[in-house]
């Protein structure tokens, strides 16, 4: 079977139609777009720590209040994930990502003119946060649709965009602030984020159609001939019984239990083409958001894993520079530590993608091992001292963070969680559940820092959340195969029994009369006796 590729013109979009997942083709362009979108979304969020001390000095605010900027941004980004899914299913991924790019850029540009931290909450927290959601989630979803066998590797490599962004943006913004100040530096970042809109224009939708062309429909003449032959056979069989039923050649007038019903009527119930070639089959309605994934116990456990693991995703990169400054490390060397973390994350993402691309391997278990090692990395930060101690911890943390951050959303497409068919809706619900941790994570760490006067407490809170996430991740596979498998088997057996039982056999019209007659005769015989 050959893989056909043809463009189908649609309103405002042109879709690529394939008979199977291409594992390449235009997917490489989509992978490049995802690389840039990652750099301009999560790369900027993780690099926001370079503005941390400047905002504290300019607005005379505490750690926790400044932390709410990124906290609100991450919360809005994750809380509006179902909205992103609905809009993508309704208007397409391309328009949604382009609109998200405009929101991200507008929020960052307006934030450069903010006069209070509350202005930052609205501009970066709400406006840019919504733009981040509309930009990131549709891009990673459509990228997963373009790849199958190479999905893990391609997604992991493309997701390194945020790592390269942190590696390059952190020193660049730090140097730029020395020249033009933090406000014009933030303005420049906002203008740069307009590139998300250009990347959104590259996201051509993909349509996977089964090989309908191979199963050619018989010509209309042969279908009509088959009707006539079947009806002739039916008329003959019924006339031999002398039932007195008038049979016509119309298939609609044939009783349902006879063989005169054409076989071509059955595909209407299976979504195939009807007999009339001039009429188009009704396309199945696509659900804008499928909440049925919430009935899957394995997905629920995976969602709780994402909820607690999110506590350890953003706070370390946000507090690594203040931690290094508290240890007496200079600004330049602090930026180098953040850049080293980003470089290590690149190698972690590539390594995880290469490892998960291996066939005889259970990907969910590899993810679990990486999460446990990531928890160890978070615990190691408070014990580091000096520049090289923080550098070693940052490199180790960055590598392990890359193995988890680059794979936890694409793993939704695996059969151990929900599968590729429901990945779009599952991703929206999954990121929505993460919103609570995204909202509470950085402020919780900020409160602990203000209370204990020690940045180590922020890393301890992240480690605690990551350990809880590992516990729920360990339950995903047992819920899929052990705890719920017995119930699913019972449901399948009931469906099979109902389908094989069939309708009860029809009885002749005089069946009751015959039984009554037999009963009366037997009664008379007994009376005579």
Structure confidence by residue, pLDDT tens digits, 142-172: 888 888 777 778 888 888 888 788 778 888 8
**pTM of the predicted model as reported, rounded to 2 decimal places:** 0.60
Superfamily for the 15-210 domain: MFS general substrate transporter like domains (1.20.1250.20)
Cα separation, 231 vs 227, in Å, equals 6
Residue 92 or 422, more confident: 92
Q: Which CATH superfamily is domain 289-495 in?
A: MFS general substrate transporter like domains (1.20.1250.20)
Could you tell me which of 435, 419, 409, 413 has the C-alpha nearest to residue 82? 435
**Most confidently predicted of 36-45, 65-74, 233-242, 494-503:** 36-45
Query: How many CB atoms lie under 10 A from the CB of residue 362?
Result: 12
Residues 6+ apart with CB under 8 A from 418: 293, 296, 298, 299, 412, 426
Residue 187 confidence class, pLDDT cut points 50, 70, 90: very high
pLDDT of residue 519 exceeding 90: no
Q: Do domains 15-210 and 289-495 have the same CATH topology?
A: yes
Whether residue 526 is predicted with pLDDT greater than 70 in this model: the reply is no
pLDDT in tens, 211-255: 554 444 555 545 454 445 445 544 444 443 343 334 344 444 444
Measured in whole angstroms, the distance separating CA 204 from the mean position of its chain's CA atoms is 18
β-pairing, 6-10 vs 206-208, is unpaired
Residue-wise DSSP of 374-401: HHHHHHHGGG--HHHHHHHHHHHHHHHH
pLDDT at position 359 is 65
Report pLDDT for 250: 42
Q: 139-148, 169-178, 205-214 — which is least confidently predicted?
A: 205-214
Residue 241: the pLDDT is 39
Measured distance CA(353)–CA(384) in Å, rounded: 30
Helix runs in 310-422, H state only: 315-326, 331-356, 363-380, 386-405
**Distance between CA 66 and CA 166 in Å, rounded?**
20
Query: Residue 54 and residue 33: Cα distance in Å, rounded?
Result: 32
pLDDT score, position 75: 82
Contact in structure between 464 and 315 (CB atoms under 8 Å) = no
**What is the mean pLDDT of the segment spanning 379-405?**
87
Domain-wise residue ranges, the chain: 15-210, 289-495
Q: Is residue 407 within a helix (H) or strand (E), and if so which, with residue range?
A: none
C-beta of residue 267 within 8 angstroms of C-beta of residue 254: no
Maximum C-alpha span of the chain: 123
Q: What is the mean pLDDT of residues 38-46?
A: 87
Average pLDDT over residues 388-409: 86
Q: How confident is the model at residue 500 (pLDDT cuts 50, 70, 90)?
A: low
Q: Which residue carries 């000096």 as its tokens?
A: 386
Q: Is the pLDDT of residue 521 over 80?
A: no
- The Cα-based distances of 400 to 224, 341, 347 in angstroms read 66, 10, 9
Q: How much is the average pLDDT of 317-343?
A: 80
| Distance, CA of 39 to CA of 42 (rounded, Å) | 6
pLDDT at 248: 41
Distance CA 116, CA 136 (A): 28
Per-residue pLDDT, 106: 94
Helix, strand or coil, per DSSP, at residue 214: coil
Alpha carbons 286 and 298: distance in angstroms, whole number: 24
Task: Pick the more confident residue, 6 or 155.
Answer: 155
Candidates 441, 482, 481; CA nearest to 461 is: 441
| Whole-angstrom distance, CA of residue 433 vs CA of residue 430 | 5
466, 452, 461, 394: which is closest to 63 by C-alpha? 452
Burial 430-446 (b: 16+ CB within 10 A, else e): bbbbbbebbbbbbbbbb
What pLDDT does residue 517 have?
A: 56
């Amino acid at each position: 079977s050959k893989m056909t590729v043809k463009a189908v013109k649609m309103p405002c979009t042109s879709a690529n139609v394939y008979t199977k997942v291409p594992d390449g083709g235009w997917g490489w362009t989509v992978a490049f777009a995802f690389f840039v979108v990652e750099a301009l979304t999560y790369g900027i969020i993780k690099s926001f720590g370079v503005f941390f001390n400047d905002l504290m000095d300019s607005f005379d605010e505490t750690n926790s209040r400044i932390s709410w900027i990124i906290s609100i941004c991450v919360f809005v980004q994750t809380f509006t994930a179902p909205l992103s899914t609905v809009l993508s299913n309704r208007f397409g991924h391309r328009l949604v990502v382009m609109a998200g790019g405009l929101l991200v850029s507008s929020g960052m540009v307006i934030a450069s003119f903010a006069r209070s931290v509350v202005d930052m909450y609205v501009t970066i927290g709400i406006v840019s946060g919504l733009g981040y959601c509309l930009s990131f989630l549709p891009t990673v979803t459509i990228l997963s649709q373009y790849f199958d066998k190479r999905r893990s590797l391609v997604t992991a490599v493309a997701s390194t965009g945020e790592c390269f962004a942190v590696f390059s943006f952190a020193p660049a913004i730090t140097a730029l602030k020395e020249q033009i100040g933090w406000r014009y530096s933030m303005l420049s970042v906002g203008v740069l984020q307009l590139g998300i809109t250009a990347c959104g224009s590259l996201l051509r939708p993909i349509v996977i159609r089964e090989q309908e062309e191979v199963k050619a429909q018989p010509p209309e003449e042969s279908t009509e001939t088959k009707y006539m032959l079947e009806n002739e056979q039916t008329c003959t069989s019924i006339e031999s019984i002398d039932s007195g039923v008038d049979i016509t050649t119309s298939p609609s007038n044939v009783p349902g239990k006879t063989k005169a019903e054409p076989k071509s009527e059955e595909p209407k119930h299976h979504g195939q083409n009807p007999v009339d070639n001039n009429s188009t089959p009704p396309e199945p309605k696509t659900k804008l958001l499928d909440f049925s994934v919430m009935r899957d116990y394995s997905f629920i456990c995976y969602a709780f894993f994402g909820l607690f693991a999110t506590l350890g995703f953003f706070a370390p990169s946000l507090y690594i520079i203040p931690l290094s400054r508290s240890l007496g490390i200079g600004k330049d060397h602090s930026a180098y530590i953040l850049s080293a973390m980003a470089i290590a994350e690149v190698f972690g993402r590539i390594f995880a993608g290469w490892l998960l691309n291996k066939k005889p391997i259970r990907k969910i278990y590899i993810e679990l091992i990486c999460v446990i090692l990531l928890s160890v990395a978070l615990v190691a930060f408070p014990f580091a001292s000096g520049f090289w101690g923080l550098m070693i911890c940052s490199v180790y943390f960055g590598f392990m963070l890359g193995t988890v951050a680059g794979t936890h959303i694409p793993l939704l497409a695996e059969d151990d969680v929900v599968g590729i068919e429901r990945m779009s809706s599952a991703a929206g619900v999954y990121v929505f559940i993460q919103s609570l941790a995204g909202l509470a994570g950085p402020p919780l760490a900020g409160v602990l820092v203000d209370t204990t006067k020690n940045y180590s407490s922020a890393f301890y809170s992240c480690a605690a959340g990551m350990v809880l996430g590992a516990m729920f991740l360990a339950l995903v596979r047992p819920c899929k195969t052990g705890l719920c498998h017995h119930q699913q088997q019972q449901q399948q057996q009931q469906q099979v029994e109902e389908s094989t039982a069939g309708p009860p056999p029809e009885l002749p019209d005089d069946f009751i009369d015959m039984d009554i007659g037999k009963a009366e005769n037997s009664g008379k015989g007994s009376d005579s006796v």
